[in-house]
Structure formats: C-alpha cells, structure tokens
Amino acid sequence: MWMGAGRRSWPSQARIFQLHMANSLQTPQLFKPFDGAVGLFDSGVGGLSILRSVRSLMPALDLVYVADSLHAPYGEQSEAFIKARTLALGLALERAGVKAMVVACNTATVLAVKALRAQTQLPVVAIEPAIKPAVSQTRSGVVGVLATTQTTQSQSVQRLCERYGTNTKILLQACPGLVELVESGQHQSDEVHQLLSHFVEPLIRQGADTLVLGCTHYSFLKEMIGLVAGKGVELIDPADAVARELGRRLSLQSMATEKNVDPKALNHESLDAQAQFLHPHGSGTIRLFTTGSISQAQVVMSRLWGEDLVVQSFTDPLT
C-alpha cells in the first residue's frame, strides 16, 4: 500500500548505515564499512584507555571502537562465553574490513586471543597484565596485580607468575564490582573508593610497592587507586605500550607489501620511526559503537573521554 509522502518514514542516515553494517557483519559481502580502519574492542568502555593512547600516538589512523557493554562484565562470566564474545566481535570487525585489531580487554586476551588469532589472518594486538615490567621495577620485591576474577584465575596469568615470580612475590587481587561501576558512569563514586580500599590496602600491607592495572577499566580509576595506595606506590598501565606495539605491527604490515625489506632485520626503534612516519598528523576518524544502550554509552563514554561523543549501535553478529 502506498503511503502519502507526509506519512512515509524514511530511515535516517544513521539507520541506513546501521542496516548496511548489520548485513555486512553477518554475511561476507562487498560493502566494508570499516575498510582500512583499526578495530578495537572491549567488554565495555574500559578499552577507551587504549583508544586514547592509540589516538595520541597515531592520530591519522581511522579507528573503530566497539564496547560490548550489553555483556559486561566479562570477568565474572564463563570461559566459553568470553571466547564466544571475543570471536564474534573480532571476526565481525574483520568482515567489516578492518586492517588490524586490538583486543582492548585483558580478560578476553588471557582467555580467548589464541582462539581469535587461529581464525584470522589480520594482526591482532592484545593487552595482558603487565607483570614483567612490574617485576623489573619493584624495589620491595612485592607486586600487586588488580584484575578481574577470570583474569586472576587464568592459566595465562598463572604462567606469567611462574615465569617472573622467582624472586618476586606476586599478589593477584580479583576486583569484582569495579567494572560495573565504571560502566554505569560511577567511576568517581564513594562505592569505588570503598571497594578500592578493600582490594588495595591488603596489598600495600603485604609490602607491594608496584600495582599492575590488569583491567582496562581500571585506567579510569588510576587517580583513586593512587590515593588509596599512597605515596611511593607505582601504578603500571600498559596502554601506551599496547599503542606502540600496534604501531610496530602496522609498520611491519606496510613494509611486508614493499620489496627488499626483511622484517627480521627491523628492530623496535626503526619500526617506531616508521609508525610515526606512516601516521604523522591528526585527522583520522573515530567511530564508536556499543552492543548496549546507546544513550547510556554516549553519556559514560563522553564523560570518560572528556568531550561529547556520538555512539552508534553495533548489531551483534550472534543475534
């Protein structure tokens, strides 16, 4: 039935984009909405801390960020669930055309990055608790690791502790509840302060002088963690290191397409220089998506990022 022009509701531009994207994420086809961008994802808004470091190191890169807030927190879910979500998001980004991806979530990395790498040809840069740098920095010989329950219980983290914990005491502290508070925009609340006192003070009493932020959400609690931990305690946030690693992988990727370059001959310094050369100035785009509520994501992400952001809906490839 024909509807009069006045009554006909055309989809908005944003809706058209979402429809295209929903199709392209579910079936392999020509339209690649994220062509040439780098895709980052996390269980929620925590990975914005990595996005910020990537943006400041390589401002000309086009970036796509997906917050899986509908399914946060990952840290209290089963391993099978975290694997399924990581594969769903990573492979959806690949189908949508990204040239590389960053798993901006420690929990997804330690439980699922192996499975993701086995299924994609793209460079996958991932974040895991920075236990090695913490061990080389501590003076007291005691290091605390703040992370999600699943991260602290994972085999990857146990292996890191065995490898680097010979002469250093490594205290793993699960911090349930913190991710939920950051997700709901309460990162500066009394509840956060109370939880942090509960989690951090015992580590300090046991002599920890170095704390690893083993969950990307905790970057946004850095100031409060510092206050609770007290003076002289070093906080280690690997966000900048992850951004540098992404730069190196992109440099390698672009060099691999040029002849006469042996990737084995390249050291970190030359790859860092190449990354700066490839992405010298600002003007890359940042597109933000959530699997959860758009209005909530817009408020919380804008607050964490420090400016007004537009967030779009990410059509979940598993639904």
Binding site for ligand DGL (CB under 6 A): 42-44, 46, 72-75, 105-107, 148, 151, 179, 215-217
* 134 residue type, one letter: A
Which of 265, 215, 255 minimizes the C-alpha distance to 235?
A: 215
Q: How far is the CB of 68 from ligand DGL (least distance, A)?
A: 8
Beta-ladder partners of 101: 39, 124
Q: Which residue is nearest to ligand DGL (CB)?
A: 75
Distance CA 150, CA 195 (A): 18
Q: How far is the CB of 73 from ligand DGL (least distance, A)?
A: 3
Q: How far is the CB of 133 from ligand DGL (least distance, A)?
A: 17
Q: How far is the CB of 43 from ligand DGL (least distance, A)?
A: 3
SS3 for 55?
helix
- Both tokens of 22, joined, read 């929903």
- The residues that are catalytic are 105, 215
Cβ burial, residue 35 (10 Å; 0-12/13-18/19+):
exposed
**Please, are residues 88 and 65 in contact by the beta-carbon 8 Å criterion?**
no
Phi and psi angles of residue 5, each rounded to the nearest 5 degrees, phi first: -50, -40
* 247 residue type, one letter: G
Beta-ladder partners of 287: 64
Which of 72, 296, 289, 288 minimizes the C-alpha distance to 178?
A: 72
Q: How far is the CB of 204 from ligand DGL (least distance, A)?
A: 22
Q: Whose structure tokens read 């059509």?
A: 315
Beta strands in 156-230 (DSSP E): 169-174, 210-213
